[in-house]
Amino acid sequence: VAPGPTPEAPGGGPAERTALAWGRSSLAIVAIAATITKSGLEAHESVVAVAAGVLLLGAAGVVSWTGARMSAGRLAADREGSQQARRSVLAVLTAASVFSACVAFVIALLA
Amino acid sequence: VSEGPGHAGGRDEKAGGDDPRPPDRLPGQAIRRRRPEERRGPGEVGEEPDPRFTFANERTFLAWNRTALALVAAGAAAAAFLKSNLSGARLLVALPLIVLGAFVGLHSFQRWEANERAMRQGDPLPYSGVPRLLAVTIVVVAAITAVFAVIDLVKD
């Protein structure tokens, strides 16, 4: 049986709240990209820091767009595809956070 | 088709019973070893849960991931901008935060998968000791930072 539309809850539906959470997460990546770039520039590791910042900004774009699209239900028609897409986006976000931790670790040691 | 409790996630209940295999999780152990049938993606097992629960699980993952990013950002900021008269103070504050951020980031994905799998199979959600680790580490780092701040103040 195909699941029906998400029931509305008081104060906004779960899909909207999830889309907003994806937006906040992409903004968090943007913030950490700025922090890493700035701290890297202070440490005279500007090339590494700027490259990492640009990469993280790209990840933020992917996460923001795909996460919001997924929550809006555009991928819901294909349930298997939706599950795979969700797992992929979550993996991208996880990779971005671990990558930023690695870059921050290197900058901290070099600073 | 759901495999049901007892096949993938419900073995804890059997610990100490007639099952000759060792228990999946010992008391106090946060994460147990995954069996081969559990290494499939969460979308390949069980049945689709209520969309509200799926969304809630996704938001929990996002919240954990934001916490990881905040830890990394705090560590990077401490490494770059913390000024102290004590050598090594900067790294002592920054590195634990960054390492914990990487760990929490990885854990958030594992946790999402484990919760998704448990919901699809109708099993209880797995326990995690990471919130305790997170709280203890933040308290310790805050205490260390406070000590350094007081020492610097006295020295100046």
**ipTM for the whole complex:** 0.76
Name the burial class of residue B5, with classes exposed (0-12), middle (13-18) and buried (19+) by CB atoms within 10 angstroms of its CB. Answer: middle
pLDDT at position B22 is 54
- Let me know: does A56 contact A36? Beta carbons within 8 Å: yes
Q: Phi-psi category of B25—alpha, beta or left, where left has phi over 0 and alpha has psi -120 to 50?
A: beta
Per-residue pLDDT of chain A (111 residues; tens, 9 = 90+): 556 655 555 434 777 788 888 888 888 888 888 888 877 666 666 777 788 888 888 888 888 888 777 776 655 555 656 777 778 888 888 888 888 888 888 888 877
| Spatial separation of the C-alpha atoms in residues A101 and A32, rounded to whole Å | 10
- What H or E segment, with its residue span, contains residue A17? helix A14-42
From the CA of A60, how many Å to the nearest CA of chain B?
Answer: 12
Which of B53, B87, B98 is the best mutation test for A, with the most CBs of A within 10 A?
B98
Please name the member of B62, B81, B112 whose beta carbon is closest to the beta carbon of A25: B62
- Residue B80, SS3? helix
Please name the member of A29, A84, A91 whose beta carbon is closest to the beta carbon of B109: A91
Contact A108 B108 (CB under 8 A): no
Count of Cβ atoms closer than 10 Å to residue B105 Cβ: 25
| Spatial separation of the C-alpha atoms in residues A50 and B116, rounded to whole Å | 36
Contact B52 A17 (CB under 8 A): no
Name chain B contacts of A85, Cβ cutoff 8 Å. Answer: none
pLDDT at position A81 is 62
Please name the member of B43, B72, B108 whose beta carbon is closest to the beta carbon of A104: B72
Greatest extent of chain B over all pairs of C-alpha atoms, in Å: 69
Is residue B47 less than 8 Å (CB to CB) from chain A?
no
Name chain A contacts of B72, Cβ cutoff 8 Å. Answer: 32, 97, 100-101, 104
Name chain A contacts of B105, Cβ cutoff 8 Å. Answer: 94, 97-98, 101
Is residue A26 less than 8 Å (CB to CB) from chain B?
no
| Spatial separation of the C-alpha atoms in residues B98 and A13, rounded to whole Å | 35
Question: For residue B20, what are its two tokens?
Answer: 């000759």
For B37, which DSSP code? G
| Spatial separation of the C-alpha atoms in residues A62 and B108, rounded to whole Å | 19
Greatest extent of chain A over all pairs of C-alpha atoms, in Å: 59
Contact A84 B43 (CB under 8 A): yes
Q: Which residues of chain B have pLDDT under 70?
A: 1-40
pLDDT at position B104 is 95
Q: Which residues of B30-63 are buried (b: 16+ CB within 10 A; e: fewer)?
A: eebeeeeebeeebbebbeebebeebbbbbbebbe
pLDDT at position B27 is 58
- Let me know: does B120 contact B45? Beta carbons within 8 Å: yes
| Residue B115: half-sphere exposure toward Cβ, Cα within 13 Å | 18
Q: How far is CA A80 from CA A83, A84, A86, B28, B109, in A?
A: 5, 6, 10, 36, 19
Q: What type of residue is B132?
A: R
pLDDT at position B1 is 38
From the CA of A94, how many Å to the nearest CA of chain B?
Answer: 6
Q: Phi-psi category of B23—alpha, beta or left, where left has phi over 0 and alpha has psi -120 to 50?
A: beta
Name chain A contacts of B61, Cβ cutoff 8 Å. Answer: 90
Is residue B102 less than 8 Å (CB to CB) from chain A?
yes
pLDDT at position B110 is 92
